[in-house]
Structure 1
Amino acid sequence: MLAPGLSMLWEDDGATSALRERFGFADLDEVSGWAGDLLRRSWGLRAGPCSRLVLSGENAVAWVHAADVGPLVLKFSCAADRFARLDATTTALDHLSRAGVPVAAPRRTPDGTFRVRAAGPGGDLSTGVFLELAGDWLDVSDAAAVHDAGAWLARTHAALTGLTTDLPPRAAGTLRDRVGAWLTAADPGHVPDASRRLARLLSQAPDLSGAPQVVHGDFRAANVLVRDSRVVGVLDLDDAHRAHPVEDLAQASVYLATRFRAWRPTPPQVRRTLVAGYASVRPLDAAERAWLDLLVLWFGLCAVPGPSDPGGWAAAVE
């Protein structure tokens, strides 16, 4: 897992300078003091110093131990334009926890709220406290774990069905319109044969039934914890949004093998195992199967970085 101390999750920037420039903290000790005061004032918890702090974009995750309840994770963000979204995704996490999905359950403050907007040295921060989950990141070479991950993605979708929370779709328009617009105006043409195949699949695709619902939005190895080939943690709903579940499954199929700095396509057999696990809980109808093939190809094409492609994304869609 992640090393103790201050680190960057996936970026190459210096961690200390990023902490100062993005959040205003001088070092991990200053974060520890601020976090201890916040947890005492807002959650009524007595916590020791932060053992680990990881930065990811405008977000940070700190590991603390509270004498009252044990190991916790404090997440804070300086992205003010995402504060309302974080409120909604934290509500979704609570909903999943109560439905039996193994997520990092958010802890309420004494007045019943999940997130607190707190002053930091660099500006306001949206903060939340979550139970720490223990496990190893998903290894996609473990077929049993991948199958179980697919099953838990299906259970996550089932638990989120009907959830009413203020989460918009990731992009406007129907799936058919979005794929068509990409082919017409945004396809860089890195793999032309695959693009032509996508256009053919789109022209033949049946209509999907069912309305968009809240979905995970970033289901992949870095966000799935496993122990003994069984999923023990589904992490990070920060990208949750409204979509058809088959779109979320297709995205997971393409990106499942990716981790923070290891960015390679998911092998075909692993994709099939993930889908088999999903279908063991939530069977796919014929229209969903057709759209799954189409969307896996689309997400794969979107992932091709260009002529320089050390990860082999173009080969994965050829």
Structure 2
Amino acid sequence: MFLLAFLALIVERFTGYPDWLFRLIGHPVTWIGRLISQLDTRWNREADDFATRKRMGIRALAVLMAIVILVSAVLQDVLLVIPLGPILLILVAASLPAQKSLERHVRDVASSLKHHGLPAGRAAVSRIVGRDVEQLDEAAVCRAAIESLAENFSDGVVAPAFWMGIGGLPAGAAYKAANTADSMIGHRSPRHEAFGWAAARFDDLVNLPASRLTAALFVVAALFVREASPSNAIRAIRRDAKNHRSPNAGWPEAAMAGALGIALAGPRSYGGEMIEASYMGEGGRSELVYEDIYEALKIARIADMLLIGLFGVLAVLMWQV
């Protein structure tokens, strides 16, 4: 199924997910989100004890995965045998990666800082990060945007394409469901610490291969960017990735930080609470400016082309087997 992933990446790279289509029918993530919300409402009861809520969270994740895999498997089988079905299958698969929208949102942060100043930059970055942005200076806004680019390139582009290549539309959709569940219920809030435990752990597991692949893509991409250093990226990965609060996000963030010679991550505020975190690219330049976002976008764009090329080669090799 690497051919499906390859074609889906190409289509999404050029078209994205059209706004008119989103307004008309929504998006697979919104459909999955509604199902997660229903499971959360029905099965995450505050009157239950911690162990019961944890058990119900495991059940909710299993139900979510079963429904998504079943529906997408049936859809794939049907589309593969009807006239023009394979084309429709590619279009459906192209809704899973998010290359175009990720680049657009991150570029908006740099453009807002450049043309409209810090308040506009804060507003733009607030659309792609969950941290408090009201007190961020320009360097912190830039850092947040680049971190989001690195992490979301891994779980929003590489991971769905990777799993689609491994198991077709069902595997790609299942990954997207797991990732959506983690973002909705996989955080350590009083309501979701128990119920979202399974979603958070499962998301860590399924993102593991993509995070390592993303870091490798960033290292290779740095070879083609004059201002970047692949050797520094490798050193940052080895030194800093393991110190990140996430078992996966540290890999792409450290690679990006090392390649650009900057410091990412570190302490940040969520909901008024300061969270201590290690720096990725320890010792790198911390006074970032909007130009650094453009440099990070160069690396991500080249990494994306490398990913598409890799999947193209794998598709040819699998076709010949």
Both structures adopt the same fold (TM-score exceeding 0.5): no
Flag the structure with higher helix content.
2
TM-score (norm 2): 0.27
Which structure has greater strand proportion? Answer: 1
**What's the TM-score once normalised by structure 1's chain length?**
0.28
